[in-house]
Amino acid sequence: MTILLFKLQNVPDDEACDVRELLAEHDIYFYETHAGFWRLGVDGLWLPDATNLERAKELIRVYQAERTANQQKVYAELVEQGQAPTLWQNFKLSPLRFVALMIAVFFILTLTLAPFGFMGKQ
């Protein structure tokens, strides 16, 4: 029975490529599926059986731990150099998106908290 090893939805292209290369380097046979035009399927890497499942999971776990440490180091360097995007810089890059997100947050908070405002008026 096939086993979903790694979902590729919302995964950066470089990370997906690294995982593919990692599995190929260790002679772990896998195949890839795409969700398709209507997005009804699953973007992922699959194993045909469970023979290499634990080894593949461990390789991916180690890779992701290293990637996380590297990305955190890069972000810390950006912050130290003053190049990490701030709230104001994000606003300047796309003010319409920023305002739309703020309106969405306000709308969701209003819907969430509105029942509590009407509780004492019965």
DSSP string, 9-65: TT--HHHHHHHHHHHHHTT---EEE--TTTT-S--EEEESSSTTHHHHHHHHHHHHH
pLDDT at 34: 95
Counting Cα atoms < 13 Å in the Cβ hemisphere of 119 gives 5
Q: What confidence tens digit (pLDDT) does each residue in 21-52 have?
A: 999 999 999 999 999 999 999 999 999 999 99
Question: Is 6's pLDDT higher than 60?
Answer: yes
pLDDT at 14: 96
pLDDT at 50: 95
d(CA 12, CA 19): 11
Question: For the whole prediction, is pTM greater than 0.85?
Answer: no
Region 57-84 average pLDDT: 95
